[in-house]
Structure 1
Amino acid sequence: MAAVPPDDLARARTALGERAPLVQCLTNSVVQTITANALLAVGAAPAMVDNVHEAAAFAALASAVLVNVGTLDEEKARAMALAAQSAQGAGTPWVLDPVAVGGLEFRTRVARDLLAHRPAVVRGNASEVLGLAGAGAGGRGVDAVDGVEDAVAAARDLAARTGGAVAVSGAVDVVVDATRTVRVPGGDALLTRTTGAGCSLGALTAAYAAVVDGDPLTAAVAAHLHVAVAAEGGGGGGPRAGAFASARFVLIEELVVQLPRAPG
């Protein structure tokens, strides 16, 4: 397996702070504040421009776009399609977070249609990736019922279709593109008990995609590693999920990215 050179990850983290990318977030209503704070903590600028009248115009101006289908309705679906189409036309990298896709027909159809606009990164748990690829029935709401390794083949298929990278989150995250596979260990089990952890990761992935020009896999690896290391530090303060979440964002702000040894 090919790994991402540590120097590339260090440069990505430096670029994130120096360039302060403007990330348009079309995300779910549960996590808007959490997502904005996560982006601010890493030095990015969040913009929650998600209405049908402005989404397309803003996507052409933004540094990157996040599309998260967590709380979806017809109008949001239209805005997401317009933003994704505009981002594709403008060459703006955008990230698709297929929340709970596979188990529910409407969001599954919307997310699969969005693939036509070639997201730079698709980021989800194993069940969501399998559901998006048409290879599984989805999870239990936002919770995966499939293992990460079970979704690797589906992730590779999606990467071939989009020309970008696909990241599968789990105990050990797996990020693939057409030629490379990288596994990112680390993190903390409390991530699964913290509201907005995956949604924040999707936003950070978009921020990194804005500063890692033309290499969405490196962007996704940098974002996943960033959150994994921050979560490991945040878990030391005790078992309570609320305390963990607070500590996590402090660590995200202070983090210097280091690449763990990749299995090979």
Structure 2
Amino acid sequence: MNVDTVGQLLEKVREQNPLIHNITNVVVTNFTANGLLALGASPVMAYAREEVADMARIAGALVLNMGTLDERVVEAMLLAGRSANEHSVPVLFDPVGAGATPYRTDEARKIVKEVKASIVRGNAAEIANVIGEAWQIKGVDAGAGDGDVASLAKKAAAMLDTVVAITGKVDVISDGSRTFLIRGGHPILTKVTGTGCLLTSVMGAFAAVEKDMLAAGASALVCYGVAAEAAARKAAGEGPGSFQVQFLNELAALTSEDVRRFGSIEKAE
């Protein structure tokens, strides 16, 4: 796994323009759709219980994001997730705020139990709470906390039998046996609502064109980081609003050569 592979998968996303079915939160819907379009994927936001199974069946990937949670949303996610599993469509799960309240934690655990996720992405606190590890969290935007994030990613991947990505200052992604560290991005990402949510959907775009979920997830992390760094440079001093617009521009402008020049991926010890 190297930056050349990442660049090839980026080109594959552009060539195939995969349909990504998002059941995501109301705060980030527009940004997520625009981000996927900028990257080269095709977003659809379908939530109705009457159609989610049919939409998931024809999608390249299904993204489940529990940022704004209620009983109907969970039911729709389970219906869509089961349909995706039945039709071999990759499922990406973002357990936003797991650990913040007992209800949110219970529903996150219910989803990973009843739906086979291909990739689970969250911050360290969210992932820890999904698997029952003690990790401090406050609200739905948790800090990294204390602990060995690489070990947590490996443990969670083994327990959930999936690929787990933990994002932070250094992103970690593991399938339980192979683990990669991705350095990049910029702190201003934390000042724009929905950048983590969009990242999970971008992972969905890569998962739609690559069967190796670890390679797909790692490639998404690298591309996202390179685009964020470029956006931060060009919007320097202008604040998060300008950064958000420039970030969409950079996702659209990103090339495989940019990935090869500025991307970083290393195997964890």
Specify the SS of the correspondent of 1:23: strand
User: Which whole-Å CA distance do the structure 1 matches of 2:265 and 2:134 have between them?
Assistant: 31
Partner of residue 162, structure 1: 160
TM value normalised by structure 1: 0.94
Deviation at 1:46, TM superposition (A): 0.4
| 2:253 paired with 1:254 | yes
Specify the SS of the correspondent of 1:51: coil
Contact 1:103 1:131 in 2 (8 A): no
| 2:255 paired with 1:228 | no
User: Which whole-Å CA distance do the structure 2 matches of 1:217 and 1:75 have between them?
Assistant: 31
Contact 1:148 1:169 in 2 (8 A): no
Partner of residue 195, structure 1: 193
User: Which whole-Å CA distance do the structure 1 matches of 2:47 and 2:242 have between them?
Assistant: 30
Partner of residue 31, structure 2: 34
User: Which whole-Å CA distance do the structure 1 matches of 2:198 and 2:48 have between them?
Assistant: 20
Contact 1:16 1:211 in 2 (8 A): yes
Q: Following superposition of structure 1 onto structure 2, how do residues 179-218 of structure 1 map, counting pairs within 5 Å?
A: 179-213=177-211, 215-218=212-215
User: Which whole-Å CA distance do the structure 1 matches of 2:147 and 2:232 have between them?
Assistant: 25
Please list the CA deviations of residues 179-220 of structure 1 after superposition, one character each: whole Å capped at 9, or x if unmatched: 11100001111000011100110110111100012x111111
After superposition, the Cα gap between the structure-2 partners of 1:31 and 1:106, relative to the gap in structure 1 and judged at 3 Å, is same
- Give the ranges of 4+ consecutive aligned residues of structure 1 lying more than 4 Å apart after TM superposition: none
Q: Following superposition of structure 1 onto structure 2, how do residues 1-264 of structure 1 map, counting pairs within 5 Å?
A: 4-116=1-113, 117-147=115-145, 150-213=148-211, 215-236=212-233, 237-239=235-237, 240-256=239-255, 257-258=259-260, 259-260=263-264, 262=266
Between the two proteins, the alignment pairs up a number of residues equal to: 260
User: Which whole-Å CA distance do the structure 2 matches of 1:73 and 1:151 have between them?
Assistant: 30
After superposition, the Cα gap between the structure-2 partners of 1:97 and 1:166, relative to the gap in structure 1 and judged at 3 Å, is same
Deviation at 1:149, TM superposition (A): 5.3
Contact 1:102 1:134 in 2 (8 A): no
Question: Which runs of 5 or more structure 1 residues have no equivalent in the other structure?
Answer: none
User: Which whole-Å CA distance do the structure 2 matches of 1:74 and 1:94 have between them?
Assistant: 20
After superposition, the Cα gap between the structure-2 partners of 1:218 and 1:178, relative to the gap in structure 1 and judged at 3 Å, is same
Percent sequence identity is 36
User: Which whole-Å CA distance do the structure 1 matches of 2:54 and 2:207 have between them?
Assistant: 20
User: Which whole-Å CA distance do the structure 2 matches of 1:66 and 1:138 have between them?
Assistant: 26
User: Which whole-Å CA distance do the structure 2 matches of 1:219 and 1:148 have between them?
Assistant: 28
After superposition, the Cα gap between the structure-2 partners of 1:254 and 1:143, relative to the gap in structure 1 and judged at 3 Å, is same
Q: Which amino acid aligns with 1:62?
A: A
TM value normalised by structure 2: 0.92
Question: Which runs of 5 or more structure 2 residues have no equivalent in the other structure?
Answer: none
Contact 1:103 1:138 in 2 (8 A): no
Which is further off, 17-26 or 115-124? 115-124
Specify the SS of the correspondent of 2:100: coil
After superposition, the Cα gap between the structure-2 partners of 1:20 and 1:148, relative to the gap in structure 1 and judged at 3 Å, is farther
**RMSD value, Cα:** 1.6
Deviation at 1:7, TM superposition (A): 2.9
Please list the CA deviations of residues 116-160 of structure 1 after superposition, one character each: whole Å capped at 9, or x if unmatched: 222110000111111111102552223223348533333223212
Contact 1:102 1:136 in 2 (8 A): no
User: Which whole-Å CA distance do the structure 2 matches of 1:37 and 1:263 have between them?
Assistant: 32
